[in-house]
């Protein structure tokens, strides 16, 4: 299971965790774009979300109708326990690598 997460996938999972109750498609895009100064397309974001859902790391549900979206509902995402496990395994792997480094990495 170790190393199964891609870089972008990890980023998305962490952002979902960060946004908590407000994790929906456009919100995620804006957050990531701000932090990493990327220019994500909606297609790329939603594709990744769909893949993550297929892998069982996140689940989604529809929220209440919203005014600013013409009465359309938002699809919210949250981490599953498998998603949390995957993230923590990823972190453990990184910590291990950081701890064992022979070169001075801190700036």
Q: Which residues bind another protein (CB under 8 A)?
A: 24-26, 41-44, 46-47, 49-51, 62, 66, 68-70, 72-75
CB of residue 75 to another protein, shortest distance in Å: 4
DSSP 63-90: EEE-TTTTTPEEEEEEE-HHHHHHHHHH
Q: Which residues contact 103 (CB under 8 A, 6 or more apart)?
A: none
In the bound state with another protein, the residue whose beta carbon lies nearer, of 24 and 57, is 24
In the bound state with another protein, the residue whose beta carbon lies nearer, of 33 and 85, is 33
In the bound state with another protein, the residue whose beta carbon lies nearer, of 10 and 46, is 46
Nearest one of 83, 37, 88 to 59, comparing CA atoms:
83
CB of residue 54 to another protein, shortest distance in Å: 8
CB of residue 41 to another protein, shortest distance in Å: 4
Q: How many CB atoms are closer than 10 A to CB 57?
A: 24
């Amino acid at each position: 299971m170790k190393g199964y997460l891609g870089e972008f996938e990890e980023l998305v999972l962490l952002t979902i965790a960060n946004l908590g109750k407000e994790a929906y498609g456009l919100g995620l895009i804006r957050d990531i774009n701000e932090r990493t100064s990327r220019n994500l397309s909606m297609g790329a974001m939603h594709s990744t979300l769909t893949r993550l859902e297929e892998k069982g790391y996140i689940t989604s549900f529809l929220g209440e109708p919203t005014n600013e979206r013409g009465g359309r509902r938002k699809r919210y995402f949250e981490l599953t326990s498998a998603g949390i496990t995957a993230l923590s395994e990823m972190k453990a792997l990184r910590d291990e690598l950081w701890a064992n480094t022979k070169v001075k990495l801190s700036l």
